[in-house]
Structure 1
Amino acid sequence: MTAMYLVANEIRVKKGFASQLVKRFEERKGIEKAPGFVRLDILVNEQPNNYDEVRVCTMWETKDAFIGWTKSEAFRKAHDQRGKAPLDYVLGNQMYAYEVALTFGG
């Protein structure tokens, strides 16, 4: 059996702006229809320092399913920033990808 694949995008935002970024994810832009997509989780960590962190986690059936999503027209449209207001509250981000070695529970 092929292992599941988790991709996490850790986005640092100015203090108090996490909910504004989360709101942008409420409208689905096609990821839920991507072959091999399992789920999307948005996690908010209100850091004790001068920024908040929003972690966008997607679970995929395989690494190839995730790569397929990143090469799709739906992905390009979801990430196209032309004509949109700049996200001046975003301080930076870091992507992480994991092969899921063990899962327990429902």
Structure 2
Amino acid sequence: MYVVTNAIRVKKGYAPQLVERFKERKGIEQSTGFIRLELLVTEGLEDHDEVRVCTTWENKDSFIAWTKSEAFRKAHEQKDRERLDFVLGNEMFSYKVALSVEA
């Protein structure tokens, strides 16, 4: 499995608005190899809020195919981003899953 996270820093108090935006997806759930999307809201930060968008994929190739898709382009159109004046920045990370244990 392959996991990609996008840590999005937003102005203090704006995490709920960003989470709300993700409730209307634009096709990621139909992408080949997509397993799950989770949003994590970081607790205890003083200067800003952080929402970590975590996507899990069957493999790296599935994630790369998503980033080259029409659905990805539509989900990341500039017109949508212009409305997000509360976003301070972001940092992406990717991981190859070495171990996964379930209940």
Shift of 1:81: 2.4
The reply to whether residue 98 of structure 1 matches residue 88 of structure 2 is no
- Aligned 8 A contact 1:47 1:53 in 2: no
Question: Is 1:12–1:92's contact at 8 Å kept on the other side of the alignment?
Answer: yes
Aligned mate of 1:19, from 13, 16, 21: 16
Consecutive unaligned residues in structure 2, runs of 5 or more: none
Indicate yes or no: 2:66 matched with 1:69: yes
**Counterpart of 2:26 in structure 1: which amino acid?**
K
How many residues end up aligned between the 2 structures? 103
- Displaced runs of 4+ in structure 1, greater than 3 A? none
Higher helix share: 2
| CA deviation vs aligned residue, 1:51-92 (integer Å, no higher than 9, x gap) | 010000000000000000000000000100226642111010
Counterpart in the other structure of 2:29: 32
Q: Which amino acid is the alignment partner of residue 68 of structure 1?
A: A
Residues 83 and 51 (structure 1), Cα distance of their counterparts in 2 relative to 1, 3 Å cut = closer
Residue 51 of structure 1 corresponds to: 48
Q: 1:83 to 1:93 in 2, by over 3 A?
A: closer
CA distance in 1, matches of 2:98, 2:3: 10
Deviations 1:4-37 (A, max 9, x none): 0000000000000000000000011100000000
Q: What is the CA–CA distance in structure 2 between the aligned matches of 1:64 and 1:37, rounded to whole Å? A: 11
Amino acid at match of 2:65: G
Q: Which runs of 5+ in 1 are unaligned?
A: none
Alpha-carbon distance in structure 2 between the residues aligned to 1:75 and 1:24: 15
> Over aligned residue pairs, what C-alpha RMSD do you find?
1.3
Give me the TM-score of the superposition, normalised by structure 1.
0.92
Q: What's the TM-score, normalizing by structure 2? A: 0.94
